[in-house]
Amino acid sequence: MSTKRTLEKSINAEIEESKSANKKSGFKAWFERAAAAITKVTGSSAAFLVAVAVILIWAITGPIFNYSDTWQLVINTGTTIITFLMVFIIQQSQNKDSLAIQLKLNELIACEERASNRLIDVEDLTQEELETLKKFYVRLSELAEEENDLFSSHSVDEATGQHKHKLLLRHKPDPTANKNGAATKK
């Protein structure tokens, strides 16, 4: 069996194992399902309208309760508790979305033969390493700008060499050209 087949088989086995492990009813699985549902509901226009309605009801009841400390404490406590809990729910949802996006980008990098595979785990680099890598991309941008070519493309690994190669090809004399540089008919 080839290495590719072995790798595919082990990846598929891990995915199946992960699926069966996720069917467990532990707190982690429950929290993930609850966070997804809460994020979906609270991100809706209906949830926004409910929040506005609660605030309006609270404001309207102000004169009834003589704008007392208890009246103010109700809205302050309620919004603080909801905000505190939503931080964790939103962060969990964001972490999952971020991981999914990273995996999709990794797939695109892995399938493009000219892309640098060193970028696959770029999210694991330190801030300093990311800044260094950014300098390479700034240089790529500068090379493309120097060429005045919107369609120029390079990877980190080949930026300078590829740029010089392209320039040589563009400025290499055409063997079929006449003295004026125009191509002759064959």
Q: What is the mean pLDDT of each run of 10 residues along the chain (186 residues)?
A: 66 74 77 93 96 96 96 96 96 93 89 81 90 87 74 59 64 58 50
CB 97 within 8 A of CB 104: no
pTM, entire model: 0.60
**pLDDT tens, residue by residue, 66-92:** 999 999 999 999 999 999 999 999 999
List the chain domain ranges. Answer: 3-111, 127-171
pLDDT of residue 89: 96
On the 0-12 / 13-18 / 19+ scale of CB atoms within 10 A, 116 is middle
pLDDT of residue 151: 64
Q: Assign 172 to helix, strand or coil.
A: coil
pLDDT of residue 186: 45
**pLDDT tens, residue by residue, 90-113:** 999 999 999 999 999 988 888 887
Q: Assign 41 to helix, strand or coil.
A: helix
pLDDT of residue 54: 96
136: β partners: none
pLDDT of residue 11: 74
